[in-house]
C-alpha cells in the first residue's frame, strides 16, 4: 500500500486533517472543497516511525517556493513484507508428499538417494518378472521335450523288442556251443566209446542225471557192471548206470558230481530248423557239427525219429542235438551207411517220458 504525504505532520493535528491526497507545494492550508472525512482514521500499524525521505533542515518549516510548481510525490510507505513460505521443491521422482516448512524454519534438505530407489525397485521387479516368464517357458519346453523323449523311448523299446525277436531266430553256433559244451562228456564203457549229457534238474544238490544210448553201455550192462567213466579234457567222473530201455535204445546214468543240466525243448521240431550236434566222434571230445532238421518221422517203426543232416560218426552216439536257442531236441543215435548227410536222433521228449528226469 502506498500513501502520499508532504512533509511529515504528526497524526491527529488539524493541519494533518486538511491534507487529502496531494496539494501543491507552498499553498496555504485551506478547508477542503468537500465535507468528506479523511480516508485514513487510524495510525499506521507499526509503532516504529517510518523512515522518510525528509529534506534537510527544520522538519516543521514550510518548503521554500520553487521556481516551478508541480505535483510532488510523497514518500512511499515501505511495508515490511513477511517471509512467505516457499513452495516445496518437489523432486520429480518422489511421489510421496513433502511437508512444507513453517515460516522462518530452514527448509530440510532432500536426499538424492530416495530418487534412485524407485527406478532400482522397478528394475528389480521387471527383472524378476522376466526371469519368472523365462522359467515358465523353459518348464513348458522341458515338459514337451520329456514327452517327446518318452514317445521316442517307447518307439525304441518296441524296435528293440522286434530286433530281439528277430535275433532269437538267428542261428549262432558259437553261442550255442559255448552254452552246451560244459554239460557234454565222453563216455567210456568197457571197449565202447560214446557221448552222454546232463539234463534236467530233478536231482539232489551235488548229483546229476545224464542220458546216452543203450548200445553205448550195453557191454557193461549185460556183463553185470554198472560203472562207466565220464571224461572231458582232464576231468574224469565216475557214473553209474541206473536204468536202460533196450527197445528205445536209451540209458540213464547218475553221477555224484554237480553238472549243469541242459533244458529239453518243449516243442516238436520242424524241418528246416538249424541245429548243433555235440559229441565225441572217434573219441574226440568237444566236437561240434551243424546242420538242419531234414525231417520229423513220428510214425517210424522204431518209434518217433528225427532226421538231420549234420555230420556224425561213431562216438557221437548219445550226444545232444540242440536247436538255435540251446535247447535239446534229441539224442544222436545212428547214421545211414554208404550215405552222406543222413543222421537219426531219438526225440528228447521220448527220453524224458521214459525216465521222468527232465
Which of these is catalytic: 183, 198, 208, 317?
Answer: 317
| Sign of the CA dihedral running 142, 146, 149, 151 | negative
Max distance between CA atoms of the chain, in angstroms, equals 189
260 vs 181: CA distance, rounded Å: 10
Measuring CA to CA, which residue among 148, 194, 224, 149 is closest to residue 334?
194
Kindly give, in sequence order, each residue whose CB lies less than 8 Å from that of residue 202, ignoring residues fewer than 6 positions away: 209, 356, 357, 358
Residues in the chain: 358
Kindly give, in sequence order, each residue whose CB lies less than 8 Å from that of residue 93, ignoring residues fewer than 6 positions away: 114, 115, 118, 119
Buried b / exposed e across 245-259, counting CB within 10 Å, b at 16+? eeebbbbbbbbeeeb
Identify the helix (H) or strand (E) that includes residue 275: strand 274-279
Which of these is catalytic: 215, 294, 301, 338?
Answer: 215
214 vs 196: CA distance, rounded Å: 11
Identify whether 215 is a catalytic site residue: yes
Can you tell me which residue has the cell 494533518? Answer: 16
Identify whether 91 is a catalytic site residue: no
Which of these is catalytic: 74, 183, 208, 249?
Answer: 249
Q: Which of the residues are catalytic?
A: 215, 249, 317
Amino acid at each position: 500500500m502506498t500513501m502520499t504525504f508532504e512533509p511529515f505532520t504528526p497524526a491527529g493535528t488539524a493541519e494533518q486533517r486538511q491534507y487529502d491526497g496531494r496539494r501543491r507545494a507552498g499553498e496555504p492550508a485551506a478547508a477542503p472543497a468537500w465535507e468528506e472525512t479523511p480516508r485514513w482514521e487510524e495510525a499506521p500499524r507499526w509503532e516504529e516511525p517510518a523512515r522518510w525521505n525528509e529534506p534537510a533542515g527544520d522538519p516543521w518549516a514550510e518548503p521554500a517556493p520553487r521556481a516551478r510548481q508541480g505535483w510532488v510525490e510523497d514518500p512511499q510507505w515501505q511495508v515490511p513484507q513477511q517471509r512467505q513460505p516457499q513452495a516445496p521443491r518437489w523432486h520429480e521422482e518422489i511421489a510421496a508428499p513433502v511437508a512444507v516448512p513453517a515460516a522462518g524454519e530452514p527448509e530440510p534438505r532432500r536426499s538424492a538417494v530416495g530418487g534412485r530407489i524407485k527406478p532400482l525397485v522397478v528394475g528389480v521387479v521387471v527383472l524378476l518378472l522376466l526371469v519368472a516368464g523365462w522359467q515358465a517357458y523353459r518348464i513348458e519346453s522341458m515338459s514337451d521335450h520329456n514327452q517327446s523323449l518318452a514317445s521316442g523311448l517307447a518307439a525304441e523299446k518296441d524296435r528293440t523288442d522286434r530286433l530281439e525277436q528277430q535275433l532269437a531266430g538267428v542261428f549262432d553256433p558259437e553261442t550255442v556251443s559255448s552254452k552246451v559244451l560244459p554239460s557234454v562228456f565222453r563216455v567210456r564203457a568197457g571197449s565202447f566209446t560214446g557221448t552222454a549229457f546232463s539234463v534236467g534238474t530233478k536231482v539232489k544238490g551235488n548229483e546229476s542225471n545224464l542220458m546216452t544210448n543203450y548200445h553205448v553201455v550195453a557191454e557193461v550192462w549185460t556183463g553185470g557192471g554198472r560203472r562207466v567213466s565220464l571224461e572231458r579234457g582232464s576231468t574224469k567222473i565216475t557214473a553209474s548206470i541206473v536204468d536202460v530201455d533196450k527197445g528205445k535204445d536209451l540209458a540213464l546214468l547218475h553221477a555224484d558230481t554237480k553238472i549243469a543240466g541242459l533244458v529239453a525243448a518243449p516243442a516238436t521240431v520242424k524241418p528246416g530248423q538249424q541245429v548243433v550236434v555235440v559229441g565225441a566222434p572217434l573219441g574226440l571230445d568237444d566236437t561240434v557239427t551243424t546242420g538242419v532238421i531234414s525231417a520229423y518221422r513220428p510214425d517210424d517203426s522204431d518209434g518217433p525219429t528225427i532226421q538231420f543232416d549234420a555230420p556224425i560218426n561213431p562216438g557221437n552216439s548219445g550226444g545232444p542235438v540242440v536247436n538255435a536257442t540251446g535247447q535239446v531236441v534229441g539224442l544222436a543215435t545212428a547214421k545211414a551207411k554208404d550215405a552222406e548227410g543222413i543222421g537219426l536222433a531219438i526225440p528228447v521228449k521220448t527220453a524224458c517220458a521214459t525216465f521222468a528226469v527232465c
